[in-house]
Structure 1
Amino acid sequence: MERKPVHVSMFSGGASSAYVAYNMVQTHGKENTILFFTNTLWEDEDNYRFMDEVAEYIGLEITERMDGRTPEEVFYDSRFLGNSRLAKCSEELKVYQTIVFLEELRDVHNLEPILYFGIGPHEKHRADNLKDFYEHNPIEPIETRFPMIDTFKSDFDIKSIIENEWGIKLPRMYDLGFSHANCAGRCVRGGYEHYKHLYQVWPHQYLKQEEMEERFRKHFEKNVSILKKDGKPYTLKEYREQILEKLNQDEKHIELRELVKEDGHIPCVCTFS
């Protein structure tokens, strides 16, 4: 029996994925759409407020899946500290949960999922990676769509539409200067620039991540870190004490630029969803 298509918005809690979800519902109808969210349990509380208000505005309940572990617990279970090059937390808490849910749609409900992502033209490489990943899903290929790249050809201000036309305040992480709202600023895929910004605008979150890193190092007696310097571990504690705490007194732009060359270009985003 042929499966009925169902349109699944990969709802991240950001502005772009919210607008894509809205457009998806307008195009295909509520009865043919799903608002899907994978919860890492590290999200900022204001993200949940934003997602609930968006879901109410577009008239869809959020379908949520979670592993039950935090990223830190995944690091302990895998005995591997996530970093800017490899993040097991994304694989376990987002990708795996997504694949299980999609196969449930197929096997239990006889639905064929089509995934929608809020990725823009400036991140086309991410879209290419996602498309390739889901095309080579080991069970069956899964179609992916990227409306911000393929459908909306003109440039428009999504954030303004959400706040001024929908009447929904954006997640506070945008006000704090973050380009996305992943894991309340604690994304291990962040580079030097990301953690510099986190320290400057949300220092208690930086210290949470620093303490998490120190706990892992002590527990496993391993010299590992989220960041790297000269190909070697460079802890958040070292970064704070050697660079960040001195920036207010003496802006060491040259030294910071040298660090950013090594690691700062890596985007702070989850790998596949």
Structure 2
Amino acid sequence: MNRKPVHIAMYSGGASSAFVAYHMVKQYGRENCILLFTDTLWEDEDNYRFMEDTAEYIGVPLTYVVDGRTPEDIFFETKYLGNARLARCSVELKVRQTLMFLEKLRTEQNLEPILYFGIGPHETHRAYNLRDFYADMPLEPVECRFPLIETFTEEPDVRRIITEEWGIRLPRMYDLGFTHANCGGRCVRGGFAHYAQLYKTWPERYALQEEMEEKFRNQQKKNVSILKRGSHPYTLKQLREHFETDPDYLEKLLSMNINMDKEDLQGAPCFICDIEKD
């Protein structure tokens, strides 16, 4: 069956995905494009502001896909606390919702989705993972495109372009020192350094995560945690208490001058390629 192509920018709230969306729309026209955002309901409020500002500049309204549950809901429903090695919240709230949306485009509107990601040359391995994942769909494969890798001969300075040429302020989490803005700093895949930054910047959000983790541990009667140090659980309560007794520990973590496994320290990307394949 012949379907009309529809070009979909996978909007993440970051500068690169907005830049890619702009060039996608410029090439294929507003009427043939969608800006898709899967909302976990934990996002920082300034991310929404940035996405709406850039969508208005691009000239295509943002399409929100919302499951209605938060990551915390997923943890308690699945009885599995997300961590830097596995986060079922991204599977349920991002991956599954995206696949359902794509299937509706095909079956209800006779459209063929083509996905665009703001992944740069320094993350080529993520592009490979995404392409493999979408090529192995249960029903039909989905084409993926990575303009920052495949189209541009040099990676553009997207942050400068958006701030200086578009006149749009970047999400505040860039300036606050976070490596990514997923879930308003509460991303369970963030790692020690990320949670050190969260504690430093928004202790009230850190407290919400600590409270959730303690509630999960008590309710499930399991010695589990969001953070890991080697193969051992390391709770947010322990980390906070460490911060309180050793003022230099926070700076050691933020500067990464501490002996720790890289994945435990830096975390891992929360992305659609994190889904488990059966």
TM-score normalised by the chain length of structure 2: 0.92
Task: Name 2:265's counterpart in structure 1.
Answer: 264
- How far residue 255 of structure 1 moved from its aligned partner, in angstroms, is 9.7
Contact 1:243 1:256 in 2 (8 A): no
Between the aligned partners of 1:151 and 1:178, the Cα distance in structure 2 is 28
Does residue 200 of structure 1 match 2:200? yes
Cα deviations across residues 82-128 of structure 1 (Å, max 9, x unaligned)?
A: 01111000000000000000000000000100000011111111111
Q: Give secondary structure in 1 for the equivalent of 2:270.
A: coil
Matched positions, count: 273
Identical pairs, percent: 60
- How far residue 204 of structure 1 moved from its aligned partner, in angstroms, is 2.0
- How far residue 266 of structure 1 moved from its aligned partner, in angstroms, is 3.2
Q: Give secondary structure in 1 for the equivalent of 2:194.
A: helix
- How far residue 221 of structure 1 moved from its aligned partner, in angstroms, is 1.5
Task: Name 1:124's counterpart in structure 2.
Answer: 124
Q: Give secondary structure in 1 for the equivalent of 2:123.
A: helix
Between the aligned partners of 1:190 and 1:271, the Cα distance in structure 2 is 16
Between the aligned partners of 1:232 and 1:4, the Cα distance in structure 2 is 51
- How far residue 252 of structure 1 moved from its aligned partner, in angstroms, is 5.3
- How far residue 199 of structure 1 moved from its aligned partner, in angstroms, is 1.6
Between the aligned partners of 2:130 and 2:146, the Cα distance in structure 1 is 10
Pairwise CA RMSD: 2.0
Contact 1:116 1:146 in 2 (8 A): yes
Give structure 1 stretches of 5+ with no counterpart. Answer: none
Between the aligned partners of 1:40 and 1:171, the Cα distance in structure 2 is 17
- How far residue 75 of structure 1 moved from its aligned partner, in angstroms, is 0.5
Contact 1:87 1:271 in 2 (8 A): no
Does residue 80 of structure 1 match 2:80? yes
Contact 1:116 1:147 in 2 (8 A): yes
Q: Give secondary structure in 1 for the equivalent of 2:239.
A: helix
- How far residue 227 of structure 1 moved from its aligned partner, in angstroms, is 1.2
Give structure 2 stretches of 5+ with no counterpart. Answer: none
Contact 2:66 2:97 in 1 (8 A): yes
Deviates more, 1:55-64 or 1:262-271: 262-271
Between the aligned partners of 2:207 and 2:146, the Cα distance in structure 1 is 36
TM-score normalised by the chain length of structure 1: 0.94
